[in-house]
């Protein structure tokens, strides 16, 4: 969202502001409110009275941008809401658990489940539903203010310290002019800012650059999860049934796989996770999901059913070594924004929640001491290092890096890691990683041709397979049309010259929402991107993977984006 210059902005004083209402943000808010109450009830030290906490969420409501697989490890929820099983939580215990290796038309069922994928004791959940279920527990605290439809636009930094956030302006037209209902963003000043923005957060990115938070760490490596929900004929797929697949439709050098999870009411999650670090610049996760569905074993599950929802989201796969310095003067970063995700187990919800709880503990100590410095908030990292979250992430710390050498190397690395407590290929304590956009190869080189025309891999039949725009519709994506594009492209000239020539415009392929729509060039030589920002799923892939790093994703007007109910 553009920010109008020269606007006088109101200021609001808060004690803590949390950016993002996902599992990390909600857990932070809920746990912090509880810790404040416990502190006040304990009678120890000075009471923390009249505090105010703000939680900003860019979606229309809490949960509307929530998307994940998901099979959730309940470990963090057990700590956050110990009696959650008695509170109508929308979760289905995992029943059967299978791993398939898919060939073009066949499948090989793994005789034993690799330990990271064993899901006994875990729960199939819809993150969108889980967040909606959590919200009332968070909102009941007297100090809590939850603000849906209010994206944060930037972090406020003064004298090297984070002092608050600015919310995004509303009511700007497509030419960047104020409309009649223009509502300027305000500056929320807070003692502690906690970023829980999910993968590739806008404010997190600002802090990475400002404070060099990635120094000495591996770059973050992402995958893109593209997912549909299908309603299938009764009895076809059991609630709690879990299948993971590898192999088809991905080639042997591309990281990824698929998941199929059974929910209640004959609903089935089917999704594809594809590394955003493929060599092939035309890699298209949406198309791979559509191809997956044409496999006989998968078609058999879906046939006669119908598509009911769709969505997409980037996933931080980098693990422990990609975790940034996750705190500083006046701020902490939790959840996916700080790489709290276990790629080997395909799980992040529990780690996001746990990180929020740890940050809440550090925040309480800071509030009690009245000290919000880097040194004080460093307690967050010490708490993490002493927690089960660290133990878990440490064990799989070299998982994703192994796949830089292809599927088989990745599997061998993962296997050796299991025996050696996570050592890379059984020996190295730390394997380095390469950012995805740097691994992408130029199109002529990849296809070994001077005039590459990569074949269309799939035609959509509108029954089993759907184009991107159809999935956007099923994601409930709506944005105010009359606003500036929320994808800031620093140099559009690069797009139609260098990028077309060198990479064949990968955005046409990697964007799952057809935000970058291929349109024929005037000379009929090929296709170049045309920006349809209103299609956006908020997955962040373009910000991550564009080879020239000229695209910056910023939040559109509050409330815009997908409207996920069961994703």
Residues that bind another protein (CB under 8 A): 10, 12, 54, 60-61, 64, 129, 132, 145, 147, 150, 167, 170-171, 179-181, 183, 186, 188, 462, 476, 478, 520, 558, 563, 565-566
Judged by CB, which is closer to another protein: 421, or 520? Answer: 520
Q: Dihedral (C-alpha) 518, 520, 524, 527: value to the nearest 10 degrees?
A: -10
Task: Output the smallest distance, CB 483 to another protein, in A.
Answer: 13
Q: How many CB atoms lie within 10 A of CB 14?
A: 20
The residue among 170 and 286 lying less far from another protein, judged by its C-beta, is: 170
Q: Output the CA angle 394-396-399, nearest 5 degrees.
A: 135
| Nearer to another protein among residue 72 and residue 165 (C-beta) | 165
CA distance 154 to 167: 7
Smallest distance, another protein to C-beta of residue 272, A = 24
> Which of 47/565 has CB closer to another protein?
565
* Residue 275 vs 555, nearer CB to another protein: 555
Residues 22 and 533: their CA atoms lie apart, in Å, by 23
Pick between residue 137 and residue 147 the one whose CB is nearest to another protein. Answer: 147
**Smallest separation (angstroms) from another protein to the CB of 525:** 13
C-alpha separations of 455 from 206, 384, 458, 509 in Å? 39, 47, 9, 12
Closer to another protein by CB, 322 or 563: give it.
563
CB nearer to another protein: give 183 or 441.
183
Q: How far is the CB of 263 from another protein (least distance, A)?
A: 13
Q: How far is the CB of 170 from another protein (least distance, A)?
A: 5
Helix and strand totals (H; E) in the chain: 19, 26
**Bridge partners (DSSP) listed for residue 272:** 226, 258
Instruction: Please state the φ and ψ torsions of residue 127, each to the nearest 5 degrees.
Output: -60, -40
User: Which residues have a Cβ under 8 Å from the Cβ of 501 and sit 6 or more positions away?
Assistant: none
385/394 Cα distance (integer angstroms):
10
Query: Could you tell me the two tokens for 82?
Result: 């110990």
State the nearest-atom distance from the C-beta of 242 to another protein, in Å.
24
Q: How far is the CB of 129 from another protein (least distance, A)?
A: 8
Residue 143 or 284: the one with the smaller Cβ distance to another protein is 143
Q: Tell me how far, at minimum, the Cβ of 128 lies from another protein, in Å.
A: 9
CB of 160 to another protein, least distance (A): 26
Task: Tally Cβ neighbours within 10 Å of residue 239.
Answer: 17
Question: CA Rg, the chain, in Å?
Answer: 23
Q: Sort residue 421 into left (φ over 0), alpha (ψ -120 to 50) or beta.
A: left
Q: Which is nearer to another protein, 170 or 540 (CB)?
A: 170
SS3 state of residue 364: helix
* DSSP string for 251-288: -TTS-EEEEEEE-STTEEEEEEEEETT-S-TT--HHHH
Q: Closest distance between another protein and the C-beta of residue 558, in Å?
A: 8
Residues 6 or more apart whose Cβ sits within 8 Å of residue 514: 467, 468, 469, 472, 532, 535
């Amino acid at each position: 969202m553009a920010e109008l210059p020269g606007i006088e902005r109101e200021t609001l004083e808060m004690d803590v502001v949390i950016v993002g209402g996902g599992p990390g943000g909600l857990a932070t808010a809920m746990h912090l409110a509880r810790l404040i109450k416990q502190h006040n009830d304990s009678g120890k030290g000075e009471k923390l009275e009249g505090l105010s906490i703000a939680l900003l969420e860019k979606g229309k409501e809490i949960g509307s941008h929530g998307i994940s697989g998901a099979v959730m490890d309940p470990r963090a929820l057990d700590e956050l809401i110990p009696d959650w099983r008695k509170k109508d939580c929308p979760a289905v215990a995992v029943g059967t658990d299978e791993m398939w290796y898919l060939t073009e038309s066949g499948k090989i069922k793994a005789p034993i489940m690799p330990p990271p994928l064993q899901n006994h004791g875990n729960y199939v959940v819809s993150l969108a539903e889980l967040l909606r279920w959590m919200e009332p527990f968070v909102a009941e605290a007297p100090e809590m203010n939850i603000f849906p439809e209010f994206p944060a636009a930037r972090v406020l930094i003064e004298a090297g310290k984070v002092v608050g956030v600015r919310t995004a302006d509303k009511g700007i037209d497509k030419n960047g002019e104020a409309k009649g209902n223009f509502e300027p963003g305000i500056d929320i000043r807070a003692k502690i800012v906690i970023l829980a923005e999910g993968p590739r957060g806008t404010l997190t990115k600002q802090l990475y650059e400002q404070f060099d938070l990635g120094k000495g760490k591996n770059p973050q490596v992402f995958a893109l999860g593209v997912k549909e929900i299908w309603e299938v004929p009764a009895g076809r797929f059991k609630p709690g049934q879990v299948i993971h697949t590898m192999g088809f439709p991905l080639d042997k050098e591309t990281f990824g796989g698929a998941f199929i999870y059974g929910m209640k009411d004959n609903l089935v999650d089917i999704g594809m996770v594809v590394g955003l670090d493929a060599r092939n610049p035309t890699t298209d996760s949406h198309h791979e999901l559509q191809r997956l569905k044409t496999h006989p074993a998968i078609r058999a599950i879906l046939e006669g059913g119908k598509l009911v929802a769709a969505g997409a989201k980037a996933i931080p796969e980098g693990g422990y070594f990609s975790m940034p310095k996750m705190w500083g003067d006046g701020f902490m970063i939790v959840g996916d924004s700080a790489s709290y995700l276990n790629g080997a187990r395909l799980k992040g919800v529990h780690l996001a929640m746990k990180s929020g709880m740890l940050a809440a503990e550090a925040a309480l100590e800071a509030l009690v001491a009245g000290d919000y410095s880097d040194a004080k908030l460093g307690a967050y990292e010490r708490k993490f290092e002493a927690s089960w979250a660290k133990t878990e992430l440490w064990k799989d710390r070299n998982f994703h890096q192994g796949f830089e050498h292809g599927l088989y190397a990745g599997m061998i690395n993962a296997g050796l890691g299991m025996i050696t407590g996570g050592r890379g290929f059984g020996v190295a304590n730390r394997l380095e990683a390469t950012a995805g956009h740097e691994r992408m190869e130029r199109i002529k080189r990849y296809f070994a041709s001077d005039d590459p025309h990569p074949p269309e891999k799939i035609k959509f039949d509108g029954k089993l397979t759907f184009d991107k725009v159809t999935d956007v519709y099923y994601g409930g994506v709506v944005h105010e049309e009359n606003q500036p594009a929320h994808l800031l492209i620093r140099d559009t000239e690069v797009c139609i010259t260098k990028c077309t020539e060198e990479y064949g415009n990968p955005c046409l392929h990697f964007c799952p929402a057809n935000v970058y729509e291929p349109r024929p060039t005037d000379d009929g030589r090929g296709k170049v991107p045309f920006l349809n920002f209103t299609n956006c799923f908020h997955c962040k892939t373009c910000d991550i993977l564009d080879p020239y790093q000229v695209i910056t994703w910023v939040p559109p007007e509050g409330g815009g984006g997908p409207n996920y109910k069961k994703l």
